[in-house]
Amino acid sequence: MADDMLKSENLPQNPERATLEGRNKFMGFWFFLGGETVLFASLFGTYLALKNSNAQGPSAEEIFGLELVFIMTIVLLTSSLTSVYAMYHMKNNDFKKMQLWIGITVLLGLIFLGFEIYEFYHYVHGYEFGYTTSAFSSAFYTLVGFHGAHVAFGLGWFLSLMIRNSKRGINLYNAPKFYIASLYWHFIDVVWVFIFTVVYLMGKVG
């Protein structure tokens, strides 16, 4: 039976939920995302409580530039679609195409992360807006940084899955792993939708 798990022929419909282990992972990960919702809500709540507490430091309106955020948003949204493509090919048992689309997703994630690092660098050196400048700066960096850390973790996750499984196809053992990694990636995107709306756009509107 253990051998069946690693075979990639004749995969059932929804291979990610075909075994008990798969269903457990699937459920457990969704529940984890429910918990993550509260985690980010606490960070958002803190940010909203402190967003005008910039003390003597720069305010949201002064530092945020929408062009960069717009590009980051498009990049991350697109990476969400590319990971949907990856799952589409997983369900069709097309391993090569799945790897390709995950690769594109990772690339887009890296671009996003690069922009974010550039953005933070720019704030710190261009505006003297450091982590310890004000309560607003601490809340901003913590919220956006938590999201960035999630992105970085997601990249590591995708990469290790790609490398580990590069020599074999999709099977009942790794299909749930790919699937929940893509769920995680979508969740990162969900959080970003609120970050660009609540932090950047609302910060600009005032």
Partner 1 sequence: MSTTARKAGFGSVLWDYLTTVDHKKIAILYLIGGFFFFILGGLEAMLIRIQLIVPDNDFLSAQFYNEVLTMHGTTMIFLAAMPLLFALMNIAVPLQIGARDVAFPFVNSLGFWLFFFGGVMLNVSWFVTGAPDAGWTSYAPLSIFSEGHGVDFYSIGLQIAGFGTLMAGINFIVTIVNMRAPGMTYMRMPLFTWTTLIASVLILFAFPALTVGLFQLTFDRLFGANFFNPELGGNAIIWEHLFWIFGHPEVYILILPAFGVFSEVIPTFAKKRLFGYSSMVFATVLIAFFGFMVWAHHMFTVGLGPIANSIFAVATMAIAVPTGIKIFNWLFTLWGGSIRLTSPMVFALGFIPTFTIGGMTGVMLASAAADYQYHDSYFVVAHFHYVIVGGTVLGIFAGLIYWWPKMFGTLLNEKLNHWFFWLFFIGFHLTFFFQHFLGLMGMPRRYWVFGEGQGLDTFNFISTIGAFLMAVGTIVFVYNMVMTQVKGKKVSGDPWDARTLEWAIPSPPPFYNFKQLPLVRGLDPLWIEKTEGNGKMQPAEPLGDIHMPNNSFVPFVMSLGLFIAGFGVMFQGSYWFLAAIGFGLFFGSMIYRSFKDDLGYHIHKEDLEDEKGDGSNG
Partner 2 sequence: MADNTNSTSEKQQFYRKKHKEEMKHHVLTFVMMIAFTLIAFGLVMADVSAMFTIPIILIMAAVQVAFQLYYFMHLNQEGHEMPALMIYSGIFAAFLTILALTTIVWW
Residues that bind partner 2 (CB under 8 A): 10, 13, 17, 27, 30-31, 33-38, 40-42, 44-46, 48-49, 66, 70, 73-74, 77-78, 80-81, 84-85, 88, 91-92, 183, 186-187, 189-190, 193-194, 196-198, 201-202, 204-206
Summary count for the chain: helices (H), strands (E): 8, 0
Instruction: Report the C-alpha gap between 30 and 97 in whole angstroms.
Output: 26
Closest distance to partner 1 from the beta carbon of 85 (Å): 23
Place of tokens 């949201």: 60
Place of tokens 């990476």: 79
On whether the CB atoms of residues 140 and 199 are closer than 8 A, the answer is: yes
Among 18, 23, 103, 152, binds partner 1 (CB under 8 A): 23
Restricted to residues 56-95, the positions that interact with partner 1 (CB under 8 A) are 57
Instruction: Report the C-alpha gap between 23 and 38 in whole angstroms.
Output: 23
Helix (H, G, I), strand (E, B) or coil at 84: helix
Tokens for 168, please give them.
């074999």
Among 34, 67, 96, 166, binds partner 1 (CB under 8 A): 34
Task: Kindly give the interhelix angle for 175-194 and 135-164, rounded to the nearest 10 degrees.
Answer: 160
The nearer residue to partner 1, 83 or 134, going by C-beta atoms, is 134
Binding site for partner 1 (CB under 8 A): 1-2, 5-6, 20, 23-24, 27-28, 31-32, 34-36, 38-39, 42-43, 45-46, 49-50, 53-55, 57, 131-139, 142, 160-161, 164, 173, 177
